[in-house]
């Protein structure tokens, strides 16, 4: 469908950018999430592997400490002699020399009631002054009451002045329980305990490890054996945080994880929230176990004796194993940037494409619009005609084409200028629009030609005739141009589809033929095409072909009509009038072929032949006989006309003073300045100029003063009216007066009666021409001697 273009809605314009932006954001987020998950998984695997390694390393370190205690036990169980105090101190000191975190090691023999005094005395002898077996009472010690069995601190790596010497572990319930567990199970027991001689400022909880020692060579197979044969226990106090830190330092533990060690939950229900680590490798405050469990963590155990300590490892804050999501962030940022870039590019591309499309549409619109009137132009009209023709044929409907040509538009253009002509065309376009329905198509085909497609009528013939009548009436209404009131008309030709044709070409040709007929019929009317017009056209085409042949074969002849001096009755000369001797149709008068010759341009060649022939003929006439030759407006536009005339005169030898050139007012309508100059050139060589058919044309009188004529030929229509229209005499009288004033002569054409002749004579007309004085005849039939005016008149 050919129609007005509308821009795309904004949403549709930017849809590619919106889709790209949405997909881009979606892919960026999904991609970033996937990368984050992948980062998490990789970090978690690495973290768990590192944490596991750390736990194993810590366990090995702890085992090393325990193994040294076991070595000490071997000392007690392997010697035959009792281990002396100094041997214990030396051996224990060496064992734990480079093992930070080992606070103290002590030997607690199993002492019965009878041996008590002996032990107390031996210790005192070894330099532990005031040694006695003590029991714990509150925060202090008191001499132990008589019991069956004691486990007093006997040897220790503590200075001998320490109050712990003699402290009986059997009086401290948790420690005694650990001794029993160790003894009965022949295993190493451990417990978290408070030291009774804490180091200055040492608030850290400590671990006490108990190693059972049995008498050398005794059985320990059963619990009873072990209870019976226990010699004592080796007790070691660990500063657990220091110990673990030392292990981590010596094993170059990874700083990427931080390790928290929580106390064992032996048989107790302990709130996880409250369970703070006993050891944390991180510098930050220890978290509760519950907090740790919420995040990324690794869980394991640290075995100390018969207790399992809870190990929780975390990725160190800001360390390499804490997932920083930097790759995911990079993916997100890069994705967003790419999305933004793509979306921006698409927005710009959409805008550019919209701009381009607008420009294209504008070009298309301009290509289909007549700039002057704003109406669709010929290209649009033809395209629309094709479209409507196709549609109507499919639907079995009819439509009409109206071809319009303004009458006298050229007149306005030439007399008032092109600006006024343009304005007039715009006003005509508006009037035509106002006469049409929305569905009708109106176009300006060019110049003063308009065309209409009318559809949707029940009776297309009646409908288009009504429209044409309305338009003709509208266009005859005066138009107001600046300073002028202009009256024009329009000729209209109508073709109806499908009656007059099935395609664009046929319909346009037939509408044109009808238009031609309207013009020929006197303009400002409309004609609906009928088949006779085509026959006429065919005949005209045939005539055109014949005319071309006739020029080539020289089938023309000149007839001469005399004109006489009214006062003397003497013949002054002849007007040359061309005839076509057609091989089959006989003699054809000029009215039937001159217009066609003018339309086809053949008049140029024909006119030159007439001119040459007339000059040649006239050259043989008496020296005072003149010849008048008609020049067509088409010939007048030819640049070579002056040379052609000169050549005709030169070749025939006819003096220029004996040649009269007759032109009609229509010649003067165009190219005023050039024509004036041309006429002056003709006059300058002696040729006379006559204004032919005066009184039939336009603003005749103004031409008389503007152009250098020698003669005015009053049209025969005035002469024939002389007898029954009195004002014709008055007009002729005025023309004669005016001509005299301008030093011109006057010829009356079409004088057929003596009465006319006499009246013209009375009115002062200089020359007369008409059937009364002689019909146009071939040169050979013209009498050599001019007849006397009186006798001719009598003869008529």
CB distance 292 to 260 below 8 Å? yes
88: left (phi over 0), alpha (psi -120 to 50) or beta: alpha
Alpha-carbon distance of 746 to 712, in angstroms, equals 5
The reply to whether 665 sits near ligand LFPHGCPZ by the rule CB under 6 A is no
Q: In Å, how far are 10, 14, 198, 348, 401 from 352, measured between CA atoms?
A: 13, 12, 84, 6, 41
The reply to whether 573 sits near ligand LFPHGCPZ by the rule CB under 6 A is no
To ligand LFPHGCPZ, the closest distance from the beta carbon of 545 in angstroms equals: 21
To ligand LFPHGCPZ, the closest distance from the beta carbon of 646 in angstroms equals: 19
The reply to whether 708 sits near ligand LFPHGCPZ by the rule CB under 6 A is no
Q: Which of residues 284-313 bind ligand LFPHGCPZ (CB under 6 A)?
A: none
The reply to whether 693 sits near ligand LFPHGCPZ by the rule CB under 6 A is yes
To ligand LFPHGCPZ, the closest distance from the beta carbon of 505 in angstroms equals: 34
Which residue(s) pair with 315 in the sheet?
257
Q: Residue 561, class by beta-carbon neighbours within 10 Å (0-12 exposed, 13-18 middle, 19+ buried)?
A: buried
Q: Which two tokens stand for residue 579?
A: 């005839």
To ligand LFPHGCPZ, the closest distance from the beta carbon of 610 in angstroms equals: 4
To ligand LFPHGCPZ, the closest distance from the beta carbon of 504 in angstroms equals: 37
From candidates 280, 350, 518, 561, binder to ligand LFPHGCPZ by CB under 6 A:
561
Q: Which residue is nearest to ligand LFPHGCPZ, using beta carbons?
A: 770
The reply to whether 179 sits near ligand LFPHGCPZ by the rule CB under 6 A is no
Alpha-carbon distance of 579 to 779, in angstroms, equals 13
The reply to whether 591 sits near ligand LFPHGCPZ by the rule CB under 6 A is yes
Q: Which stretch binds ligand LFPHGCPZ (CB under 6 A): 104-112, 300-308, 479-487, 750-758?
A: 750-758
The reply to whether 589 sits near ligand LFPHGCPZ by the rule CB under 6 A is yes
Secondary structure of residue 389 in the 3-state scheme: helix
The reply to whether 512 sits near ligand LFPHGCPZ by the rule CB under 6 A is no
The reply to whether 168 sits near ligand LFPHGCPZ by the rule CB under 6 A is no
Nearer to ligand LFPHGCPZ, 226 or 759 (CB): 759
Q: What residues contact 668, with CB distance under 8 A and at least 6 apart?
A: 675, 703, 706, 707
Q: Which stretch binds ligand LFPHGCPZ (CB under 6 A): 85-93, 162-170, 358-366, 765-773?
A: 765-773
Alpha-carbon distance of 58 to 251, in angstroms, equals 9
Which residue(s) pair with 533 in the sheet?
none
Nearer to ligand LFPHGCPZ, 476 or 721 (CB): 721
Alpha-carbon distance of 603 to 633, in angstroms, equals 10
> Which residue matches tokens 């010929």?
378
To ligand LFPHGCPZ, the closest distance from the beta carbon of 687 in angstroms equals: 16
The reply to whether 716 sits near ligand LFPHGCPZ by the rule CB under 6 A is yes
From candidates 323, 389, 632, 766, binder to ligand LFPHGCPZ by CB under 6 A:
632
The reply to whether 660 sits near ligand LFPHGCPZ by the rule CB under 6 A is no
Nearer to ligand LFPHGCPZ, 488 or 691 (CB): 691
Secondary structure of residue 279 in the 3-state scheme: strand
Nearer to ligand LFPHGCPZ, 453 or 628 (CB): 628
Residues 377, 379, 380, CA angle at the centre, nearest 5°? 70
From candidates 498, 752, 761, 796, binder to ligand LFPHGCPZ by CB under 6 A:
752
Secondary structure of residue 481 in the 3-state scheme: strand
SS (HEC) of 10-52: HHHHHHHHHHHHHHHHHHHHHHHHHHHHHHHHHHHHHHHHHHH
From candidates 641, 750, 757, 792, binder to ligand LFPHGCPZ by CB under 6 A:
750
Residues 291, 294, 300, CA angle at the centre, nearest 5°? 85
Binding footprint of ligand LFPHGCPZ, residue count (CB under 6 A): 22
Distance, C-alpha 343 to centroid of its chain: 13
Nearer to ligand LFPHGCPZ, 306 or 693 (CB): 693
Q: What residues contact 456, with CB distance under 8 A and at least 6 apart?
A: 397, 399, 437, 439
Which residue(s) pair with 152 in the sheet?
168
Q: Which of residues 770-789 bind ligand LFPHGCPZ (CB under 6 A)?
A: 770-771, 776
The reply to whether 633 sits near ligand LFPHGCPZ by the rule CB under 6 A is no
To ligand LFPHGCPZ, the closest distance from the beta carbon of 541 in angstroms equals: 22
Length of the chain in residues, anyone? 796
CB distance 311 to 259 below 8 Å? yes
Nearer to ligand LFPHGCPZ, 493 or 590 (CB): 590
**Dihedral angle, C-alpha 136, 137, 141, 144, nearest 10 °:** -70
Nearer to ligand LFPHGCPZ, 398 or 630 (CB): 630
Q: Are strands 134-137 and 140-143 parallel, antiparallel or unpaired?
A: antiparallel
Report helix angle 240-250 to 10-78, nearest 10: 110
The reply to whether 594 sits near ligand LFPHGCPZ by the rule CB under 6 A is yes
> Which residue matches tokens 């629309």?
384
The reply to whether 630 sits near ligand LFPHGCPZ by the rule CB under 6 A is yes
To ligand LFPHGCPZ, the closest distance from the beta carbon of 433 in angstroms equals: 41
From candidates 440, 575, 608, 617, binder to ligand LFPHGCPZ by CB under 6 A:
575
To ligand LFPHGCPZ, the closest distance from the beta carbon of 709 in angstroms equals: 14
From candidates 189, 621, 692, 718, binder to ligand LFPHGCPZ by CB under 6 A:
692
Around 231, how many Cα atoms within 13 Å sit in the side-chain half-sphere?
19
To ligand LFPHGCPZ, the closest distance from the beta carbon of 518 in angstroms equals: 23
Q: Which two tokens stand for residue 204?
A: 């850290």
Nearest to 296 by CA among 40, 640, 94: 40
Alpha-carbon distance of 468 to 528, in angstroms, equals 10
Nearer to ligand LFPHGCPZ, 39 or 693 (CB): 693
By CB under 6 A, name the binding residues for ligand LFPHGCPZ: 561, 575, 577-578, 589-591, 594, 610, 630, 632, 692-693, 716, 749-752, 769-771, 776
């Amino acid at each position: 469908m050919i129609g007005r273009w509308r821009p795309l809605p904004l949403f549709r314009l930017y849809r590619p950018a919106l889709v790209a932006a949405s997909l881009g954001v979606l892919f960026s987020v999904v991609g970033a999430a996937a990368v984050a998950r992948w980062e998490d998984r990789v970090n978690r695997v690495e973290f768990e592997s590192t944490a596991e390694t750390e736990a194993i390393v810590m366990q090995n370190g702890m085992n090393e400490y325990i193994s040294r205690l076991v070595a000490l036990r071997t000392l007690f169980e392997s010697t035959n002699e009792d281990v002396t105090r100094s041997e214990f101190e030396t051996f224990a000191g060496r064992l734990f020399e480079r093992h930070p975190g080992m606070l103290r090691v002590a030997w607690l023999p199993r002492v019965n009631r009878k041996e008590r005094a002996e032990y107390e005395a031996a210790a005192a002898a070894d330099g532990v002054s005031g040694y006695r077996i003590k029991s714990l009472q509150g925060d202090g010690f008191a001499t132990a009451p008589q019991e069956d069995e004691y486990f007093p601190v006997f040897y220790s790596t503590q200075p001998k002045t320490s109050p712990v010497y003699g402290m009986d572990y059997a009086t401290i319930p948790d420690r005694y329980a650990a001794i029993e567990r160790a003894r009965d199970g022949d295993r190493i027991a451990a417990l978290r305990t408070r030291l009774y001689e804490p180091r200055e400022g040492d608030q850290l909880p400590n671990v006490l490890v108990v190693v059972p020692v049995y008498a050398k060579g005794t059985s320990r197979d059963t619990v009873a054996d072990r209870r019976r044969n226990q010699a004592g226990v080796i007790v070691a106090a660990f500063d657990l945080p220091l110990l673990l830190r030392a292990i981590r330092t010596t094993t170059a533990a990874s700083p990427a994880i931080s390790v928290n060690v929580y106390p064992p939950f032996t048989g107790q229900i302990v709130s996880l929230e409250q369970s703070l680590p006993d050891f944390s490798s991180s510098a930050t405050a220890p978290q509760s176990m519950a907090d740790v469990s919420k995040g990324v963590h690794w869980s394991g155990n640290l075995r100390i004796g018969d207790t399992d300590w809870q190990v929780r490892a975390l990725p160190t804050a800001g360390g390499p194993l804490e997932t920083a999501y930097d790759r995911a962030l990079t993916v997100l940022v890069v994705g967003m940037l790419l999305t933004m870039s793509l979306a921006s590019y698409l927005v710009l591309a959409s805008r550019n494409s919209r701009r381009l499309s607008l420009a294209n549409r504008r070009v298309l619109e301009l290509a289909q619009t007549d700039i002057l009137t704003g109406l669709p132009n010929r290209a649009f009209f033809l395209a629309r005609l094709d479209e409507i023709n196709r549609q109507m044929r499919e639907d079995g409907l009819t439509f009409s084409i109206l071809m319009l040509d303004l009458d006298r538009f050229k007149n306005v253009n030439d007399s008032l200028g092109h600006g006024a002509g343009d304005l007039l065309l715009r006003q005509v376009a508006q009037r035509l629009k106002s006469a049409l329905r929305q569905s009708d198509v109106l176009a300006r085909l060019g110049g003063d030609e308009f065309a209409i497609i009318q559809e949707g009528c029940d009776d297309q013939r009646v409908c288009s005739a009504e429209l044409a009548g309305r338009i003709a009436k509208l266009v005859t209404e005066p138009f107001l141009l600046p300073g002028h009131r202009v009256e024009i008309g329009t000729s209209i030709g109508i073709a109806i589809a499908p009656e007059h044709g099935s395609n664009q070409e046929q319909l346009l040709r037939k509408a044109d033929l009808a238009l031609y007929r309207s013009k020929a019929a006197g303009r400002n009317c409309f004609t609906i095409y009928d088949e006779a017009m085509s026959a006429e056209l065919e005949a005209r085409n045939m005539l055109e072909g014949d005319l071309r042949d006739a020029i080539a074969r020289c089938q023309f002849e000149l007839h001469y009509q005399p004109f006489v001096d009214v006062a003397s009755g003497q013949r002054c000369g002849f007007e040359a009038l061309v005839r076509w001797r057609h091989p089959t149709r006989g003699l054809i008068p000029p009215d039937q072929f001159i217009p066609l010759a003018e339309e086809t341009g053949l008049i140029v060649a024909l006119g030159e032949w007439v001119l040459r022939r007339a000059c040649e003929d006239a050259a043989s006439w008496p020296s005072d006989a003149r010849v008048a030759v008609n020049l067509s407006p088409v010939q007048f536009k030819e640049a070579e006309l002056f040379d052609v005339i000169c050549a005709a005169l030169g070749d025939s030898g006819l003096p220029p003073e004996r040649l009269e050139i007759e032109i009609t007012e229509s010649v003067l309508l165009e190219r005023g300045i050039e024509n004036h100059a041309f006429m002056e050139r003709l006059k300058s060589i002696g040729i006379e100029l006559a204004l032919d058919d005066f009184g039939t044309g336009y603003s005749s009188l103004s031409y008389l003063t503007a152009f250098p004529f020698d003669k005015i030929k009053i049209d025969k229509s005035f002469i024939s009216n002389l007898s029954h229209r009195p004002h014709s005499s008055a007009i002729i009288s005025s023309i004669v007066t005016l001509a005299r004033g301008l030093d011109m002569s006057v010829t009356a054409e079409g004088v057929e009666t003596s009465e006319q002749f006499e009246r013209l004579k009375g009115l002062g007309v200089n020359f007369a021409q008409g059937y009364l004085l002689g019909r146009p005849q071939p040169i050979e039939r013209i009498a050599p001697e001019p007849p006397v005016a009186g006798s001719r008149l009598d003869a008529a």
